[in-house]
């Protein structure tokens, strides 16, 4: 099997590509390297370019006519940045994605895995959600994901296209073989900020402490990026079982999380246990775009993919610390 991975030089896309390689699936990668890293596509089939470049997409399919599916992982993902730069986020995450869909369907590829986000959910009373839960995206980033889900569902009704939207919860960790990991010099997500504070000897701030959770901090479902990548492999292998060619359904949604809710305070405590180094922690107000969060019920993904996560929160923290200490400085030239 050969698959096109849009955004395959980024954190998640490159890890999905590694999982594909380990499973005997050949990834063909397109990435414009705005946030992705050229080092992450070394020794892989790679096209340096934009997903909106129709001529390049046509060339990729001409040179690899055996591509049987697309994994769409190309997107900007920083919530506070999306609040400050909504036009940029809609252009990169929506407008260019429309171009990609058009180019893919023109080339006859019928299987499409879309990287969506759990940030589109409205949290339930107990903070759990499943694929039927109400949606309430509360940041421009989250709204770009919700918009693209609607677009893709409409496209399945109009074109010869079947789509599985994979709603990610909160990826942490790194490829356990340390081939790829977080590529940002100054990450803005929780674990990245913890590592930055630890390395710099700075105080870490828990942003938002008056949420209606068991300890006042936000709640998340932290999933190891390798478990997330393995789910993509299973979705590719079982695509025609989830959405049969002759079936009436042409669009489906799967949540990818652990099924366990971890508050930010609990995550910080786990980080301190794994790091085994002192870290000063203080409370602070919420940031623009912050939400209380949720965690998923996992029955649908398990039934559809035969998949369950293998890694713990501590595993994800440990792999992230390993990557940051031994690989990220060389990558970023620090």
Could you give the residue numbers annotated as active site?
141
Name the pairing type of β-strands 262-263 and 219-220. Answer: antiparallel
Residues linked to residue 282 through DSSP beta bridges, in sequence order: 205
Give the single-character DSSP code of 93.
I
| CB 170, CB 161: distance < 8 Å | no
C-alpha angle with apex 172: 169 to 175, nearest 5 degrees?
120
Give the single-character DSSP code of 92.
I
For 199, counting Cβ atoms within 10 Å of its Cβ (0-12 exposed, 13-18 middle, 19+ buried), the class is middle
The three-state secondary structure class of 89 is: helix
| Residue 58 burial (CB count, 10 A) | 13
The three-state secondary structure class of 95 is: helix
For residue 159, give both structure tokens.
């074109």
Orientation angle between helical segments 264-275 and 313-326, nearest 10 degrees: 50
B/e letters for 109-128, b = 16+ CB within 10 Å, e = fewer, are bbbbbbbbbbbbbebeeebb
Nearest-angstrom CA–CA distance, 13 and 20: 10
Contacts of residue 76, Cβ cutoff 8 Å, sequence gap at least 6: 35, 82, 88, 89, 92, 93, 141
Backbone CA torsion sign across 311, 315, 320, 322: negative
Nearest-angstrom CA–CA distance, 275 and 272: 5
């Amino acid at each position: 099997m050969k698959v096109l991975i849009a955004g395959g030089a980024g954190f998640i896309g490159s890890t999905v590509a590694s999982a594909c390689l380990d499973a005997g699936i050949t990834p063909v990668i397109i990435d414009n390297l705005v946030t992705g890293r050229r080092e992450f596509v070394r020794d892989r089939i790679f096209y340096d370019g934009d997903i909106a470049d129709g001529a390049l997409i046509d060339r990729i399919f001409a040179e690899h006519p055996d591509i049987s599916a697309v994994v769409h992982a190309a997107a900007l993902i920083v919530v506070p940045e999306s609040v400050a730069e909504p036009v940029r986020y809609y252009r990169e995450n929506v407008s260019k994605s429309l171009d990609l869909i058009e180019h893919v369907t023109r080339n006859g590829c019928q299987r499409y895995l879309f990287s969506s986000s759990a940030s589109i959910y409205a949290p339930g009373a107990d903070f759990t959600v499943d694929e039927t839960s109400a949606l309430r995206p509360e940041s421009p980033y989250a709204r770009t994901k919700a918009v693209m889900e609607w677009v893709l569902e409409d496209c399945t009704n109009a074109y010869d296209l079947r789509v599985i939207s994979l709603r990610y919860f909160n990826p942490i960790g790194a490829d356990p073989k340390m081939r790829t990991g977080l590529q940002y010099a100054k990450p803005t997500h929780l674990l990245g900020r913890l590592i930055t504070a630890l390395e710099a000897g700075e105080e870490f701030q828990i942003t938002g402490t008056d949420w209606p959770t068991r300890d006042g901090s936000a709640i998340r479902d932290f999933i190891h990026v390798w478990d997330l990548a393995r789910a993509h492999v299973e979705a590719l292998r079982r695509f025609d079982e989830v959405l049969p060619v002759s079936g009436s359904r042409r669009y489906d949604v799967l949540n990818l999380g652990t099924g366990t809710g971890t508050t930010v305070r609990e995550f910080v405590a786990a980080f301190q246990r794994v790091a085994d180094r002192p870290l000063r922690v203080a409370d602070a107000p919420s940031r623009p775009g912050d939400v209380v969060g949720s965690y998923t019920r996992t029955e649908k993904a398990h039934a559809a993919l035969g998949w369950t996560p293998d890694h713990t929160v501590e595993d994800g923290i440990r792999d992230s610390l390993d990557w940051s200490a031994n690989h990220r400085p060389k990558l970023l030239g620090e």
